[in-house]
Chains A and B, each alone.
Chain A
Amino acid sequence: MGGKHYLPLTDEDRREMLSTIGVESIEDLFSDIPSEVRLQKELDLPPALSELEAVRHLNSLAAKNKHLNNCTSFMGAGVYDHFIPAVIKHVTGRSEFYTSYTPYQPEISQGILQAIFEYQTMICQLTGMDVANASMYDGGTAVAEGAIMGCGSTRRSKALVSRSVSPFYRAVLKNYFSSRGLDLEEIPLKDGHTDFSKLEEMVDDQVASVVLQQPNFFGLAEDLDGVADIIHNHNAVLVMSVDPLSLTLLQAPADYGADIVVGEGQSLGVPPSFGGPLLGIMAARQKFVRQMPGRIAGETVDSEGNRGFVLTLQTREQHIRREKASSNICSNEALVALAAAVYMAALGPKGMREVAEQCLQKANYAREKITALSGFEPAFPGFNFKEFALSIPGKPEELNKKLLQKDILGGVDAAPFYPELENTMLFAVTEKRTREEIDTLVRELEGWK
């Protein structure tokens, strides 16, 4: 039988226990399952593997994949190949953390509670917001829940979302909205940026939330000067999706008037893992806290006046408020939030700034070099952070095939999400890419087609 090493009961234990219970056999313990629904066969699963065999099997599956450690990646679109310091896995690998669950019993969960409190604080410091939760599933669900929060707080049922917001997030948003019977409209693009004049036309007193992204899906910094005013004039809420790593360099969302800040936290020391587990971040101004979904840790004192931490404002949550809860979220991405906290603690404001600046410099170096080649043009004018869109002289799929032969994971094709953007590709360049790697990419692109 498989997994015996995880099952401590012996046959003798089982016999003694059955007799304590006062039944004859194991079968008797299952006699409450009506015979018509009893499984009349054994499960048909492949034979059990020993630990060694399982590791071999999983190794063989892993070996069939190319990955960021044996290729040079220029893929982004919301998930990036950033450097992850060794400290992170040593902290998240402490089993007091990873084998615990939601800290319902604070007196024996001070570790995770304090770590969450510190995480919340650092997310607030980066965004300029007053409160942050820990956490949402990913950037997409954070965007959707952020827009719903706006509906809850304004008691309106419509949101606008810019087409420059990640199509991955918009897909989730659309689904959440249509299921709940909320309305969603898209603000068109202008040169790869949100068309703010269209936003001005579209926003009215029916609109609850306006969702924008900075930097946007094409890696471009949007000019958000005055945008919040347009939105606030209609008492609507500005929901900003951000890359937290960019916030040591780019203006804090609070400074341009964001009300709710959401986003994907993967850039904070989290491996890409084929797109999950990721980290949905969410922060907001104080007045939205009652509508905020998810776990929030708060400071308090114990019976002797010692500082301690607890989950708080739980009347927002499903286990107390049931159908009136602000969200159904229960299990979240706590361990990933812990990883992000360790990342922020290790890098500090200076380290994160250095990473962000290197991304900016390297991405712009790459963009300049590539667009000097004939046939490669910037798809849009503007300022790029760590990613840029190029119009290329052929099919992205074919280019990626060619690059793959050199163990380069090329860019992301924009056309599946923007049919009008044929032969357009997104390239991401993080601090991890060396000049040599970028130059190699440029050489490979040169003369293609």
Chain B
Amino acid sequence: MRKSKALLFEMGRSGRQGYSLPSCDVPEKPLDELLPQKMQRSEPPDMPELSEVEVIRHYTELSTRNFGVDTGFYPLGSCTMKYNPKVNEEVAALPGFACLHPCQPEETVQGALELYYNMEQRLKELTGMERFTMQPSAGAHGELTGLMVIQAYHRHRGDHKRNKVLIPVTAHGTNPATVTMAGYEVVQLPADERGNVDLEALKEAVDDTTSALMLTNPSTLGLFEEEITEMARVVHDKGGLLYYDGANLNAIMGYARPGDMGFDVVHLNIHKTLSTPHGGGGPGSGPVGVKERLIPFLPVPLVDKKGEQFYFDYDLPDSIGKVQSFYGNFGVVVKAYNYVCMMGAEGLKQVSTDAVLNSNYLASLLQKTYTIPYDRLRKHEFVVSAKPEKKKGAGAGDIAKALLDRGFHPPTVYFPLIVDEALMTEPNDTESKETLDAYAQAMEEIAKDIDKDAEKVAAGPHYTVVGRLDEVRAVRNPVLRWEKE
């Protein structure tokens, strides 16, 4: 049944309320005595007045119009939409974590500092890096922090001409955007026919103006960079540094570590790899780890231990400073820490094993019907090209909509850019074989439907609460807020 849902602003009635507050128990003064009239708001904001029941029904109905990992299979490539353990939510909500003020004296937050400290030890082992900051609030924020650290390192050595950062053509959009934010120029590297970064192009591009190479490994094609050691040597030889975008770490935990591949700076997306949920778009957390020579430049404060006491270390004279007001998304780190505690070394390795197994398995099933460029082992994800289907009249975006009708969240579409009509598929470690079989079957049916009646497929989705939404209209005639008629 198709229908739109009333907005909050179309509900409620003046005089209703959805809250109850104790009455003010201090002697009150006339408002104008406390606040000059000209500083006061003249008109109340035109916001709805709703009872609690209306609020809950509204959001409950909205939630039924939303698809999460708990709803079903969510192979959104590069996003690692694995199951989010329920217990994560419970521990993060403990008042001893959720109700901490960031300015509390250190002696009152020893448990929180210990958690940060423990988490850092585990992330170091997982990645082969030497120090971590938890301050970045997401992956992209980690990238920016990492590039700032690299920049500070070069500047500190009096090396001011390094104004370029190299990134492969397969890089996630945040990589080039971050490069600009850090005041650098982007140099894009092509891929070779195996899907690796073109080594010859890299050699040509690197020089004494290269600040860093940013790399995701495995790449967004789901392929491991086979020449990684040589790439690291080439960049290091010219004085550049290697930055690791850890969005895809779910593929290699316990099998390989960025620190051992030659990376100098790493960020992790712990909302992905370490199972904290994605929250409809966030919050995430993007801890950044570095090798020894970059530690002095990390944001302040770091968390350290003296005897049995944990403390914030602000004594980093060469630090870049701060990237978030306080110490990062602590609440998210709590969840990731809980996950790491439960998984242990063997469990985390099994996660990567199953993520890679599921990916290769699903690719094998889909290969019968679809084109998957770069015929080699894949890590946690693979990219289908729906170019042939597009020729028949229904491309990647249409296949995605057809998947909606079959109860699946589609893969990431039209990314990475070097694959035409890309469907970037990441099945994850938390999915069963039955789910993958059902998805493969759905994809097969969609292929048949395209052969039969591509136009119908291209007109989908047919069974969702709203039909295909007109995104062009939303751009041409932007309506970005509700307004009274």
Q: Kindly list chain B residues whose C-beta atoms are within 8 Å of the C-beta of A31.
A: 377
Judging by beta carbons under 8 Å apart, are B464 and A107 in contact?
A: yes
Q: A350 → chain B, closest Cβ, in Å?
A: 7
A373 at the interface (CB under 8 A from B): no
Q: A115 → chain B, closest Cβ, in Å?
A: 6
B131 at the interface (CB under 8 A from A): no
Interface 9-mer from A185-193, A202-210, A231-239, A313-321: A313-321
Q: B166 → chain A, closest Cβ, in Å?
A: 12
Q: How many Cβ-Cβ contacts under 8 Å join chain A to chain B?
A: 701
A34-76 contacts to B (CB < 8 Å): 34, 36-39, 42-51, 54-55, 57-71, 73, 75
Judging by beta carbons under 8 Å apart, are B357 and A121 in contact?
A: no
A364 at the interface (CB under 8 A from B): yes
B92-108 contacts to A (CB < 8 Å): 92-105, 108
Q: Kindly list chain A residues whose C-beta atoms are within 8 Å of the C-beta of B29.
A: 361, 364
Instruction: Tell me, in angstroms, the Cα distance from A362 to B433 when the chains sit together.
Output: 60
Judging by beta carbons under 8 Å apart, are B332 and A276 in contact?
A: yes
Contact of A358 with B34 at beta-carbon distance under 8 Å, contacts A87-B52, A329-B140 already known:
no
B25 at the interface (CB under 8 A from A): yes
Judging by beta carbons under 8 Å apart, are A42 and B141 in contact?
A: no
B198 at the interface (CB under 8 A from A): no
Name which residue of chain B comes closest to A90, CB basis. B56
Query: Please, how many residues of chain A have a CB less than 8 angstroms from a CB on the other chain?
Result: 209
Q: A124 → chain B, closest Cβ, in Å?
A: 5
A157-183 contacts to B (CB < 8 Å): 166, 168-169, 171-172, 174-176, 179-181
A404 at the interface (CB under 8 A from B): yes
Instruction: Tell me, in angstroms, the Cα distance from A251 to B24 when the chains sit together.
Output: 23
B344 at the interface (CB under 8 A from A): yes
Instruction: Tell me, in angstroms, the Cα distance from A138 to B283 when the chains sit together.
Output: 10
A223 at the interface (CB under 8 A from B): yes
Name which residue of chain B comes closest to A439, CB basis. B26
Q: A348 → chain B, closest Cβ, in Å?
A: 4
Judging by beta carbons under 8 Å apart, are A34 and B228 in contact?
A: yes
Instruction: Tell me, in angstroms, the Cα distance from A284 to B253 when the chains sit together.
Output: 43
Q: B100 → chain A, closest Cβ, in Å?
A: 4
Instruction: Tell me, in angstroms, the Cα distance from A96 to B70 when the chains sit together.
Output: 7
A248 at the interface (CB under 8 A from B): yes
A449 at the interface (CB under 8 A from B): no
Q: B472 → chain A, closest Cβ, in Å?
A: 9
Judging by beta carbons under 8 Å apart, are A43 and B473 in contact?
A: no
Q: Kindly list chain B residues whose C-beta atoms are within 8 Å of the C-beta of A378.
A: none
Judging by beta carbons under 8 Å apart, are B279 and A98 in contact?
A: yes
A248-266 contacts to B (CB < 8 Å): 248-252, 255, 264
Q: B375 → chain A, closest Cβ, in Å?
A: 12
B162 at the interface (CB under 8 A from A): no
Judging by beta carbons under 8 Å apart, are B101 and A331 in contact?
A: no
Q: Kindly list chain B residues whose C-beta atoms are within 8 Å of the C-beta of A57.
A: 341
Known: A51-B87, A65-B96, A115-B59. 13 other contacts (CB 8 A): A1-B350, A49-B342, A54-B341, A57-B341, A107-B404, A117-B482, A125-B46, A171-B321, A272-B98, A306-B2, A329-B141, A332-B282, A345-B8
Interface pairs A-B: 5 shortest CB-CB: A275-B326, A62-B96, A48-B344, A111-B66, A334-B281
